[in-house]
Amino acid sequence: MRRRHPTRVAALIATVALAPLGAQPAMADDTDKPPAAHPRLISFGGSGCKKNEGVKVFQGPDTVSLVYSKFTAEAPSTEPHANLRECAVKLALDFSGGWQWSVVKTRYTLNLSIAEGAKAEHTSRYFFEDSGEESSSNQMFEGPKLGETRYADQQNVTTWSRCGSSQQFQILNTLYAEAGPQGQKAHVSLDTQDTSIESKIVFDLGWRRC
């Protein structure tokens, strides 16, 4: 949290106290405030997010969140390839011209149920279409682990969108589960169905004028 310097606070109080009655306060300059941005889901698909297992996008103050209705990897399983699930999402931000945006931090909330001897993995990649650069993260989980797990990635290199453009932003997430040597179970999920844990991915956005 940014703190005001005591001297500056005192000067501000004095200025207000000496203002003549009836004077109108100066209006703040909004020209440097980031624009209102509206996320738009373009498409999604993959073994972890089929058409009947959708993806939703939510907007917050300087954030965009992805919530998956059913995105789970588990092992062992009788279902083929249940231990490896992928979901690719394309979205865009609609906003007024004269600005660029980037992802400065990514926060993940996953649901884990991993027995001792088993393990799971979450991989995330995202990039602007035609940018030639991408950001990625990889997180391993070894059992025993149970319940909600959170972690975050701070970006060392910032990639900016094109100026004033609703350039497509592509996101690929992969979940992998590996059973233990005696068949111990592993379950990793970005699933919001039948769970009290709100699994999601949150992108913290940065803005600059261009």
pLDDT tens over the chain, length 210 residues: 444 444 433 443 333 333 344 444 444 445 577 888 899 999 999 999 877 667 989 988 899 999 998 899 999 999 889 999 999 999 999 988 899 999 999 999 999 999 999 999 999 999 999 888 888 899 999 999 999 999 998 776 678 999 887 789 999 999 999 999 999 999 999 876 555 556 889 999 999 998
Whether the model clears a pTM of 0.85, i.e. scores above it, the answer is no
**What is the DSSP code string of 101-153?**
EEEEEEEEEEEEEE-TT-EEEEEEEEEETT-S--EEEEEEEESSEEEEEEEEE
Q: Where exactly are the structural domains of the chain?
A: 35-209
Fold of 35-209: Jelly Rolls (2.60.120)
